[in-house]
Chain A
Amino acid sequence: MLEITNLTKRYGSFTAVDNVSFRVQPGEVLGFLGPNGAGKSTTMRMIAGFLSPTAGSARICGHDIEDEPLQAKRCMGYLPEGAPSYGEMTVRGFLDFIADIRQLTGTHRSERLQKVIGQLQLQAVLEQSVETLSKGFRRRVGVAQAILHDPQVLIMDEPTDGLDPNQKHEVRTLINAMAPGKIIVISTHILEEVDAVCTRAIILARGRIVVDETPQELAARAPSGRLDDVFRTVTA
């Protein structure tokens, strides 16, 4: 389970994330929406343990990210915004490094590597250095890194940004395939994505949760039934 309680992040007098609380159960795919600067990435960074919250807590599989960071990070996969990786490494070298750190060994290790490389169709670029890859491939390497150890909790910041429509479709299919039994949180600007993969949507505006409901309930808010209209109304 993923439990976020009163999570707050202040920078001086500016409150980037303001008292955010929610819980995600296994099987749920939570979509994080909101305009730029609403606090989506900051919230995800605190959940992933990259930033310390000013107040509040995040518990991943029962482990508080500040008190037991290693246990929490072990059961979580995280794709940071922009899918950063080590540019000079080859894709194979990079995934090997992640497998080392995730302590995957023996046949399990080679099975996982093979599976993930297949799922994200990285076979053709395995020996290329990451910096020579297109934006779409880099993003897929980032997703591969996040799911390599088959984590119980998966946090992805804009997993489909920079992908072409076919690649977007593939990543969404992948998320749908992984969803049963897992906790997945993705942030996105693309509202159709919420319909395609999410079982629940949270809209953030100015660091606060303004909406937390299913995509169907969300669409029902606007007379037109269009998510864009709802989004504009609630974040205005």
Chain B
Amino acid sequence: MHNVAAIFRRELKSYFATPLAYVFIVIFLLLASVLTFYMGGLYSRGQADLEPFFGFHPWLYLFLVPAVAMRLWAEERASGSIELLMTLPVTLGQAVWGKFLAAWSFIGIALSLTFPIWITVNYLGDPDNGAIFAAYLGSFLMAGGFLAIGTCMSAVTRNPVVAFILAVVLCFAFTVSGSPMVLDVFQAIAPAIADAVASLSFLSHFQSISRGVIDLRDLVYFGLLIGFWLTATGIVLDMKKAN
């Protein structure tokens, strides 16, 4: 725990020591607002809720989260600092979790800075704040899922750009597996596994949480997903040690 906290603090501080953090936050907020107000038509809908805002999150995360994740291990390898980290008395698991939690918290900070949108709908109307809270939670969990996939891809290669592309492709697969585009195909070919494919999707779990229902199954889904990809990250790093 002590080591996870030490690595967490170091990582989080590093984000704000470079322009990366500020660039990311500004772009995230800009895109989130543009999508919500122009494409989502938050005002013209005449409804005091944040559905247009949260509806774009999976697509926003699809590119922005891999951009955060790509440097996690690839950069550590490229600069050689991984050799320092791995020869300090920390376990692989502590290093993987410390770095992941720092990146996740960073995305959480960016997400929480969207609060003016929440204030806006409360000023304009009387939204269901419980549902909004649930949607924020769902969005944060989904970001964690994207991030865990990106972390693993970052451990696979020392090239951050390759890590980014691999992560986007995998995250895209995990996102669209719940969309009609994919499900219709599975319904037609193998209806038996269509449900299984749908249940793997970020979208279906995120949407069910953002309706305001915090179901244990959705929480377990994201928990397992993050656990699975971080375990895979540890295995990949351990394999590289033997090579």
User: What residues of chain A have their CB less than 8 Å away from a CB belonging to chain B?
Assistant: 11, 45, 48-52, 69-70, 73-74, 76, 78, 80-82, 84-89, 93, 97-98, 100-103, 129, 145
Contacts and interface: CB of A to CB of B under 8 A. Distances in A.
Nearest to A71: B89
Contacts of B242: 51-52
Contacts of A51: 241-242
Contacts of A97: 6, 9-10
B14 A86 contact: yes
Given A82-B80, A86-B14, A86-B81, A50 B6 contact: no
B187 to A, nearest CB: 47
Interface in B1-31: 2-3, 6-7, 9-10, 13-14, 17-18
Interface in B23-79: 79
Contacts of B88: 73, 98, 101-102
A18 to B, nearest CB: 18
A70 B84 contact: no
Interface-central residue, B79, B86, B241, B242, by most chain A CB under 10 Å: B86
A158 to B, nearest CB: 13
A100 B90 CA distance: 11
Max chain B C-beta neighbours (<10 A), residue from A80, A101, A102: A101
B91 interface: yes
Given A50-B86, A145-B84, A100 B6 contact: yes
B91 A70 contact: yes
Given A89-B10, A101-B3, A103-B2, A84 B84 contact: yes
Contacts of A69: 89, 91
A52 B243 CA distance: 8
Given A49-B86, A76-B87, 9 more contacts: A45-B83, A48-B83, A50-B87, A52-B241, A80-B83, A84-B80, A87-B79, A88-B18, A97-B10
Nearest to A145: B84
Interface of B: 2-3, 6-7, 9-10, 13-14, 17-18, 79-81, 83-84, 86-91, 241-243
A86 B3 CA distance: 17
A74 B3 CA distance: 13
A49 B86 CA distance: 7
Nearest to A41: B83
A80 B87 contact: yes
Contacts of A100: 2, 6, 9-10
Contacts of A85: 81, 84
A84 B83 contact: yes
A50 B13 contact: no
Given A50-B241, A101-B3, A88 B87 contact: no
B68 to A, nearest CB: 15
Contact of B17 (A52, A88, A98): A88
A101 B87 contact: no
Contacts of A129: 17
Contact of B14 (A11, A81, A89): A89
Contacts of B2: 100, 103
Nearest to B238: A52
B17 A84 contact: no
B77 to A, nearest CB: 10
A145 B17 CA distance: 21
A145 B81 CA distance: 12
